[in-house]
């Protein structure tokens, strides 16, 4: 951590179009800044995210992955967020198996109008990944 160059974590956020994507827009309208090193992948529902996508993000060098979905019980596709949670758990188990800290992948929820929560979640994620340090799977680590 103290190598002189500040560690800038690369985080992939899968953002459901019914919640987090709109929450990010809301954050934009309210001009609430959040870390710019979060790569937002626009998806139609958290349930679209496959374990494969999560693992590929790590393979490509992401330090952390988060699925930002609707609150439980508010999914437009009923159980999309629950499905996503199952996949996060699966990815988590697989990562642990190969010796990567499972905390690097996470599932968070937010409401479509809650821009401030979106920004707060982004800050929290950045903090967390900074603590964990660069991913051991980083190509140029």
Partner 1 sequence: MDEVKIGVFICNCGDTISKSVDLLDIRARLEKLADVALVSIGHDLCSPQAQQAIRKDIIDNGINRVVIAACSPQLYGDALANLVEKAGLNRHLLSVANIREQCSWVHPDKDKATKKAMVQIRMAVDKVRLQDVVEQAEVEVYKDVLVIGGGIVGMEVAIELSNLNLRTTLIEKEANLGGRLKQFAALYPLQVTPEEMLTSRLKQVTGSENIDALTSAGLKDLSGEVGNFTAKIRKGNEEISRNFGAIILATGYETLFLDKVYGFELGDNIITQSQLEGMLKSPGEIKKIPQSVGFVFDICDEHSRISTPSTLRNALVIKERFGSEVYVLCRNLQVDGAGLEKLYQDVRNKGVIFFKFERFPKVLRENGKINIQVEDLSMAREQVMLSCDLLVVEEKVVPHQDFATLESMLNIGLGPRDFYQEDNVHLYPTSSTKSGIFFAGNCHQDLDLGRALTDASNAASEAYQLISSGKMRVEVERVVVDPDKCALCLTCLRFCPHDAIRIDYEKKTAHILDLACQGCGICAAVCPAKAIKFKDWSDDQILAELEVV
- How is residue 79 written in tokens? 């159980």
Chain residues 79-138 in contact with partner 1, contact rule CB under 8 A: 79-80, 83, 87, 112, 119
**Piece of 75-83, 90-98, 102-110, 125-133 that binds partner 1 (CB under 8 A):** 75-83
Residue 49 interacting with partner 1 (CB under 8 A): yes
Residue 41 or 101 having the CB closest to partner 1? 41
Q: Are 84 and 66 in contact (CB under 8 A)?
A: no
How many residues of this chain interact with partner 1, rule: CB under 8 A?
A: 47
Among 62, 66, 91, 95, binds partner 1 (CB under 8 A): 62
Task: Tell me which residues touch partner 1 (CB under 8 A).
Answer: 10, 12, 18, 21-22, 24-25, 27-29, 31-34, 36-37, 39-45, 47-50, 52-53, 56-57, 60-62, 70, 73-80, 83, 87, 112, 119
């Amino acid at each position: 951590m103290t190598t002189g160059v500040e560690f800038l974590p690369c985080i992939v956020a899968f953002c459901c179009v019914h919640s987090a994507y709109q929450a990010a827009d809301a954050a934009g309208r309210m001009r609430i800044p959040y870390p710019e090193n979060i790569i937002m992948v626009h998806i139609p529902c958290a349930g679209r995210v496959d374990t494969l996508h999560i693992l590929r993000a790590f393979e490509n060098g992401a330090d952390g992955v988060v699925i930002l979905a609707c609150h439980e019980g508010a999914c437009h596709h009923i159980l999309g967020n629950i499905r996503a949670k199952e996949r996060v758990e699966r990815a988590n188990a697989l990562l642990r198996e190969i010796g990567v800290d499972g905390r690097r992948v996470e599932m968070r929820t937010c409401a479509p109008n809650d821009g401030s929560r979106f920004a707060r979640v982004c800050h929290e994620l950045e903090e967390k990944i900074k603590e964990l340090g660069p991913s051991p799977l980083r190509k140029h680590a």
